[in-house]
Amino acid sequence: MAKVCMTEREQKRRETVKKYAAKRAELVATSNDQSASVEDRMAARLKLQSLPRNSSPVRTRNRCALTGRPRGVFSKFGIARNELRKLMMAGHVPGVTKASW
């Protein structure tokens, strides 16, 4: 079980990413535009750097929805591998059976 502060920090990061997404996309598009002047592109880069660090989507971390575990999270379910296994063994995930050969 992850600390509550870690899951809350991650939630705060996701909200910040969502808040700055449009502005960030506009600045990235301007800075990558080859037809724009060099001054405009540099100005866009400086504005992009002045945004909060947590507004970058790269800084977000996938965490288990049940426990907050940061590693071994299946993106299809959003649940960590050990919690997913418990749910499968209990029969709560449809279409999944225990392998036996």
Give, rounded to a whole angstrom, the gap between the first and last alpha carbons of the chain: 34
pTM for the whole structure: 0.78
Q: If pLDDT is split at 50, 70 and 90, which confidence band does 47 have?
A: very high
Contact 77, 86 (CB under 8 A): no
pLDDT in tens, 48-99: 999 999 999 999 999 999 999 999 999 999 999 999 999 999 999 898 888 8
CATH says 1-61 is which class?
mainly alpha
What pLDDT, on a 0 to 100 scale, did the predictor assign at position 82? Answer: 95
pLDDT in tens, 10-38: 999 999 999 999 999 999 999 999 999 99
What pLDDT, on a 0 to 100 scale, did the predictor assign at position 1? Answer: 82
- Give CA–CA dist 88/34, Å, rounded: 51
In the predicted model, is pLDDT for residue 100 greater than 90?
Answer: no
What pLDDT, on a 0 to 100 scale, did the predictor assign at position 48? Answer: 96
Length of the chain as a residue count: 101
CA angle 13, 76, 64 (to 5 degrees): 45
DSSP state at residue 72? S
What pLDDT, on a 0 to 100 scale, did the predictor assign at position 96? Answer: 85
Domain-wise residue ranges, the chain: 1-61, 62-94
- Give CA–CA dist 64/29, Å, rounded: 33
